[in-house]
Chain A
Amino acid sequence: MLARTADNLFWLSRYVERAESLARILDVALRLATLPSAYAGTSNEWESAIDIAACREAFFANHDVANQANVTHFIIAGENNPFSIRACIETARHNARAVRTAMTTEMWEILNDAWNEMQRLKFQSFTSKDLTKFLSFVKEVSLRFDGGAYRTMLRTDHFWFQRLGMLVERADNTARLLDVKYHVVLPKTEPVGGGLDYFQWSALLRAVSALNSYHLIYRGGIKPWLVADFLILKPEQPRSLISSYEDLNRVLDFLAERYGRQGPSQRLVRQTYAGLQNLDIDTLFQTGLHEFLAQFLDDNNRLGMAISEQYLQ
């Protein structure tokens, strides 16, 4: 397939996945904001939302303080935010339009409908009811897009590059979410596992639709290290880092076999995947969760670039 087409599919899937993550980030912040401060702690969940969304600089260039009104607006549709939900959907649709022939009608229609909807919405006058509705809408778009791709695309390399984009982005988002929560959720003065933690960790699990499945797997109270274990090392959890890497590894192997050639992206993905397989949660906490996640984000980023150099130019 054309390298440019693969590039577009890779990126448009990343943008759709990112739009969903942003919606989830806002969801969790909204939930935390409704808790009395005795439960939620004194930390500013809106500032942490900005951190997870990785737009601190852009945000504070335009605003002095982070509060619900300006953070939600900035993340949803901020004019000066190139990675707002609206911008992500727009870019995804723009990329899709450039490679319409590479995807199925179903996938295109989902993005085009979402884009038409965005044109119609009046973000300036959003009520909190509108906001909740909008966030479910965004999650639905991503679910439908992903399902549309899974159910309608031919299993040719078009499909595999679409998957690669989604997986790289998903790993990035889960790691980011964990990393920032790690700071926010474990203030130095609070004993780990105290009552305050409970609501914050559960909000985090809820953000990745994993609260129920956490209980299914661990059958106990919510413990920070178990949440980390769940979102980093449990292959059964589809948003965990190891699960994303298991799939990335499989897809890249498949492409290598198909094209009869291995390259840097196969080497990188194998390295990171093996690292995750050999890791246990105790060692991870000894080296420091934050250090681990920083390293992971870096590796994941390098994998994205390697894929780009190897296939997309």
Chain B
Amino acid sequence: MQTILFILQKEFLQIFRNKTMLPIIVLVPFIQLIILVNAATLEMKRINMEVVDNDMSSSSRKLVDRFRASPFFSITRTTFSIKEAEKDLLEGRTGFVLHIMPGFEEKLGKESKASVQLLVDAVNGMTASLTNAYAQSVISDYNSDMVKARGGNAFISIMPKTIDIESSYWYNPQLNFKYYMVPGILVILVSMIGAFLTALNIVREKETGTIEQINVTPIRKYHFIIGKLIPFWIIALFELAFGLFLGRILFGMPVVGSLGLLFLFASVYLLVVLGLGLLLSTMAQSQQQVMFLSFFFLITFILMSGIFTPAESMPAWGQKANLLNPFAYFMRVIRMILLKGSGFKDIAGDLISITIFAAITLGMAIWRYRKAA
């Protein structure tokens, strides 16, 4: 036990003496939160659209006004030539074209039925389907308002049945994408800090040869590993707190659930991450190899964790593979706790899984770590 204290004392001395370490610990959360949250946004607001109104009637103008009033669209150009608009679409100057063909109002009056054309740049399938969804809802709102407006007169006798659909968005009524991203970024932050720092620290001892000096001492393997892990465990937990604080100040991140529960889960999760860092360091001989190996693993883990897109949308094999992805667990749990206020009962299953993970990775790391040259 006393041995661990000596190791802790030495590790902390080194960390606080390292001139590049402290800036990393303080600046990385700032940069990640400010740049990533702003850059990594799939939030669809003010989609650039062009309007080709070849009807120029009051109905078509009203429809266009609907789009103009919608917070989701911003009309950047109005033209009469569909060719022009298609060219803009081709060259990427706009993502969406509303084309109202001649005779729109006339048809609407006579046949009660008319068509408009929506041209969506679908290179990005995600934004394309959202654009389409928003456009459809603008049009259908316009539609039902017109029905209501006419409902007052002669049409009343054949007034059709209607179903009122009242939709409400729980936990994030404004559909603020940042509330979705901040927890995701926090997961990346603590995982990268935890895994990288642990792996680099031990490989650096390998490179300078001090690990050999430790290996000829009678120190117990688990003493050494515990002594190595605790400092980074504390730092990563501190980073989580600091990141949450920044998220709260910069983006007004809501914290609905219990912070205690979040930190309980995080502290177990971090054992997995640190264990992975340790495993990586046993596989690598130089800092460069560690960087490449972690780059490879982290990118795969992060992309599959459901940071940008719901993990439920993945094909079945992807979801199965995700059972082995610790990032996915924390990604889900942190969002549940922060946004929905999920309690202990709700995350108990995940907590058990992640505890098993921790036992396995730490066990493997201790087993793989050889007190040998």
A and B together in one complex: no
Task: Give me the interface of B with A, judged by CB distance under 8 Å.
Answer: none
